[in-house]
Structure 1
Amino acid sequence: MTNTSRTLFGATHVIDDSLTVGPEPTSKIVGRAQGIYAFTDLNEFGLLMVFNYAFVEGKYNGSTLSVLGKNSFLSKVREMPIVGGSGLFRFARGYVLATTHSLNLSSGDAVVKHDVYVLHY
């Protein structure tokens, strides 16, 4: 259906993106966003996001946060739930607010700000 769908329904992508302190390409890397997203909405551009923030710096090095939720990426702010974590984020719960900082429509590359609100033990 992907080839005939105006919303790219069925297209699936695997990600391993840098998590940085700021939006600049030279900003310090503190982790990776690793997972999968798929176009799962027949009527609008909507993604199912399944990914981990895998931290590689400082106090949270080796810990992860797991996110699973819908991302209607054309909306100004998108909320996705945090469904768990590991290491210092064991038993984590919370949410992520995602906003697009920049988007290159030609390449599909985007810089997205994630504000993370998390409770953990």
Structure 2
Amino acid sequence: MYGYNPTSVEVAEAAQTNTSKTYFGSMFVMDCPITTLPNISSNIIGYAQGMTASASQTELGLLMILHFVFTEREYNGSTISILGRNLVFENVREMPVVGGSGLFRFARGYAEGKTYSLDVKSGNATLEYNVFILHP
């Protein structure tokens, strides 16, 4: 989030965001690389593009709109779309898959998000998502 060329940036905040323990009212957009391993030097196979909004006054709960955009091999040009609530401090966060395109057209299922690593000072995090698609 900070430093040279961040992949997630804040685009809006409410007047009370600075005094809120949950950052209520803040909104971020992202364009983060998807890699095969939890290391930025690993092969990039696409990008996680979307937005989050801090939507809870009582816990760090995000409204997450996320698209996995694939750029490699047979998945090139295909997407998976996720829309749901992300409770940041839960070990595993489950969010619904609400659609997709290309090879994932009409996708339905769920995604499990986990925090692989987090640097609280810089705001940098590595996340792991496992996506389970139910085919029609």
Unpaired runs of 5+ residues, structure 1, are none
Letter in 2 for 1:103: L
1:69 and 1:14 mapped to 2: Cα distance? Answer: 15
Is 1:23 aligned with 2:38? yes
Unpaired runs of 5+ residues, structure 2, are 1-15
1:13 and 1:92 mapped to 2: Cα distance? Answer: 25
Question: In the alignment, which residue of structure 1 is the partner of 2:124?
Answer: 109
Question: In the alignment, which residue of structure 1 is the partner of 2:68?
Answer: 53
Deviation track 1:52-96 (CA, whole Å, cap 9, x = no partner) reads 000000111000000000100101000010000011111000111
| Residue from 82, 85, 104 that aligns with 1:89 | 104
Q: CA deviation at 1:4?
A: 2.0
Give the TM-score normalised by structure 1. Answer: 0.97
What is the RMSD of the two structures over their aligned residues, measured on CA atoms?
A: 0.9
Question: In the alignment, which residue of structure 2 is the partner of 1:64?
Answer: 79
Runs of 4+ in 1 over 2 A off after TM superposition: none
Between the two proteins, what is the percent identity of the paired residues?
50
Give the TM-score normalised by structure 2. Answer: 0.86
Q: Secondary structure at the match of 2:98?
A: strand
| Residue from 29, 48, 71 that aligns with 1:14 | 29
Aligned pair count? 121
2:126 and 2:56 mapped to 1: Cα distance? Answer: 22
